[in-house]
């Protein structure tokens, strides 16, 4: 039977991820790449960890910082925007920091931006004095306005922020932007970035003092191993020794060219490349003497 959710179990780690939404699938894939697997439960809220004592809690992203603060969950995958907003709110209420971002995860990228009606002539933040700004991120916005020395009115909305200027409830907005299509569709233009956000692995402000410490450390090491290798490719080929200097020049931006003894006096070579290795690059290497070129995806590493 699953343990009750409100009591912090001491020997199993509990990770909260978004149940559905933008961060749900990438969070699951990352954790699966870290070697975790789960038994899906019927209530689809709690998934019991099978390969390791690490359980999943599937929740709304807004709930994740609070679940960590209350000790219901040990770790969570959440947008930096949400984590910073709730941390800012705690600070304003005089509460101590309860969580922190342990790792940036490289997905869910977006920016928290100010956006104004398209026909505005934007001259800078000082223009905001006395205006009304609609947002779902009041704590981050207030902190930014204070930093800029601007006295503006923050209009808190829980959704559909982008229509506020057209409805006349605000003069401009502060909202998340990724492609910019939503702003354009609402005749708004982005003018200032308050926060560059991505999904983060968040944990409690303090550490763990029981079996969870070792589990969390192992998980972080695996997360690093997966993230470091993300988009990396291992390039393998063979070549005669006299071709090696030219090939090394062509691969100057890759990791060190590793030489291994190959068949018939030729060398077997390999290099770690960041990002895609194009056909054009392979053809150039072939012209410089590389043979049997192979590009392999790299899944994980232990540093």
Q: Interface with ligand PRT by CB under 6 A: which residues?
A: 18, 21-23, 60-62, 79, 81-82, 108, 110, 175-182, 197
85 near Zn ion (CB under 5 A):
no
First to last CA, the chain: 37
- The two three-digit tokens of residue 279, written as one number: 């056909």
Give 248: exposed, middle or buried? Use CB within 10 Å, 0-12, 13-18, 19+: middle
> Are 189 and 115 spatial neighbours (Cβ–Cβ below 8 Å)?
yes
Q: Does 22 bind Zn ion (CB under 5 A)?
A: no
- Beta carbon of residue 197, minimum distance to ligand PRT (angstroms, whole number): 5
The binding track of 226-265 with respect to Zn ion, each residue x by CB under 5 A or -, is ----------------------------------------
Residue 110 touches which member of Zn ion, ligand PRT, none, C-beta under 5-8 Å by kind: ligand PRT
Is position 62 an interface residue for Zn ion (rule: CB under 5 A)?
Answer: yes
**Residue closest to ligand PRT when measured from CB atoms:** 79
**By CB under 5 A, which span of 6-14, 62-70, 111-119, 164-172 interacts with Zn ion?**
62-70
* Near Zn ion by CB under 5 A: residue from 13, 23, 61, 135: 61
Residue 81 interacts, among ligand PRT, Zn ion, none and using kind-specific CB cut-offs from 5 to 8 Å, with ligand PRT
Compare residues 177 and 226 and give the one whose CB is closer to ligand PRT: 177
DSSP at 52: S
What residues have CB less than 8 Å from 206, skipping those under 6 apart? none
Please identify, using beta-carbon distances, which residue of 158 and 179 lies nearer to Zn ion.
158
- For 70-91, letters b (16+ CB in 10 Å) and e give eebbbbbbbbbbbbbbbbbbbe
Residues 178, 113: Cα–Cα separation, whole Å: 10
**Least CB distance from residue 199 to ligand PRT, whole Å?**
6
Containing H/E element for 183?
Answer: helix 181-185
Q: How far is the CB of 63 from ligand PRT (least distance, A)?
A: 8
Beta strands (DSSP E) in the chain are: 13-18, 38-39, 46-49, 54-59, 75-79, 99-104, 110-117, 132-135, 153-156, 172-177, 188-197, 199-204, 232-239, 258-261, 267-274, 291-297
Nearer to Zn ion, 202 or 226 (CB): 202
Nearest residue (CB) to ligand PRT, 101 versus 266: 101
CB-nearer residue toward ligand PRT: 199 or 254:
199
Tell me: does residue 24 bind Zn ion (CB under 5 A): no
Least distance CB 21 / ligand PRT (angstroms): 3
Which is nearer to ligand PRT, 45 or 260 (by Cβ)? 45
Residues contacting residue 174 through CB under 8 Å, at least 6 positions apart: 112, 113, 114, 115, 133, 134, 135, 137, 140, 141, 161, 194
- Residue closer to ligand PRT by CB (options 108, 138) is 108
Compute the least distance from the CB of residue 64 to ligand PRT, in Å: 9
Binding site for Zn ion (CB under 5 A): 61-62
């Amino acid at each position: 039977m699953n343990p009750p959710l409100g009591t912090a179990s001491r020997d199993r780690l509990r990770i909260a991820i978004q149940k559905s939404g933008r961060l749900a699938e990438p969070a699951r894939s990352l954790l699966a790449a870290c070697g975790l697997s789960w038994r899906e439960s019927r209530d689809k809220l709690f998934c019991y960890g099978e390969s390791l004592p690490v359980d999943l809690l599937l929740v709304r992203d807004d709930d994740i910082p609070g679940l960590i603060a209350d000790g219901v969950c040990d770790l969570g995958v959440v947008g930096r925007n949400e984590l910073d907003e709730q941390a800012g709110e705690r600070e304003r209420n005089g509460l101590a920091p309860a969580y922190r971002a342990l790792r940036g995860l490289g997905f869910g990228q977006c920016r928290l931006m100010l956006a104004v009606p398209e026909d505005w002539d934007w001259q800078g933040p000082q223009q905001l004095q006395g205006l009304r700004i609609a947002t779902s991120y009041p704590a981050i916005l207030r902190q930014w306005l204070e930093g800029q020395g601007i006295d503006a009115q923050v209009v808190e909305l829980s959704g559909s922020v982008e229509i506020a200027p057209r409805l006349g409830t605000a003069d401009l907005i502060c909202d998340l932007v990724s492609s910019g299509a939503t702003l354009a569709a609402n005749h708004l233009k982005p003018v200032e970035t308050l926060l560059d956000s991505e999904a983060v692995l968040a944990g409690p402000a303090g550490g763990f003092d029981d079996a969870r410490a070792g589990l969390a450390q192992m998980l972080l090491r695996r997360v690093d191993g997966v993230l470091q290798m993300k988009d990396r490719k291992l390039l393998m080929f063979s070549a005669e020794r006299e071709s090696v200097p030219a090939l090394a020049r062509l691969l100057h931006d890759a990791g060190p060219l590793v030489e291994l003894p190959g068949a018939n006096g030729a060398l077997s070579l390999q290099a770690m490349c960041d990002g895609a290795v194009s056909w054009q690059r392979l053809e150039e290497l072939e012209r410089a003497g590389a043979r049997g070129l192979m590009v392999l995806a790299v899944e994980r590493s232990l540093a």
